[in-house]
Structure 1
Amino acid sequence: MSTNHVTGGTARLNLSIHPICAFFKQYWRTFQEERRRQKLRTALYALNDHYLKDIGISRGMIEHIGSNPTVDPRFVGRDYLESG
């Protein structure tokens, strides 16, 4: 009888921890995304105007691209970001 009680208690404990774990996983993903976007902004600000024009953005667009999660920054060439 005590085995059933312990097993039942463990199942209830796991169910109550699940929302907490989900919260921390989402927080971590959000934190990582913000760090990635900050690195993108830093790399774009480091480029000169010629490179920015070459990849099709202006200096005024950097903050929008780096801050707006609905903007997909994949169009920015990695070779420019690494060589800048």
Structure 2
Amino acid sequence: MDTPYIVVGSPHAIAPARPRFAVIGRCWAALLDWKLRVQIRVRLNNLSDHELQDIGIARGEIDYVASHRAVDPRSAVYPP
């Protein structure tokens, strides 16, 4: 009779649990990213129009800047 035994600590014992933890990790990362976007929006909305103009952002661009942090909206005007 062949009875498969899974040894604690073997790759076969750990593999089924990894996808669940990966999903939780991605959800956690998405939550942290969302919180950061909210904080950026709040901080930028608290600035005056003159302060926003100093850093090169119009009030209408705040949502875009908060959502696309890796993209510099000034790059179209001032190419590197």
State the 1:50 CA deviation: 0.6
The structure whose residues are more often helix, as a share, is 1
Which structure has more RCO (C-alpha within 8 Å, separation ≥ 6)?
1
Indicate the residue corresponding to 2:20 in structure 1. 20
Alignment RMSD (CA, Å): 2.6
Q: Distance in 2 between matches of 1:66 and 1:17?
A: 34
Q: How many residues align?
A: 70
Per-residue deviation, residues 24-58 of structure 1 (Å, max 9, x unmatched): 11110111011011100000000000100000000
Question: Which runs of no fewer than 5 residues in structure 1 stay unpaired?
Answer: 74-84
TM-score by length of 2: 0.72
Indicate the residue corresponding to 1:32 in structure 2. 32
Percent sequence identity over matched residues?
31
Indicate the residue corresponding to 1:56 in structure 2. 56
Question: Which runs of no fewer than 5 residues in structure 2 stay unpaired?
Answer: 74-80
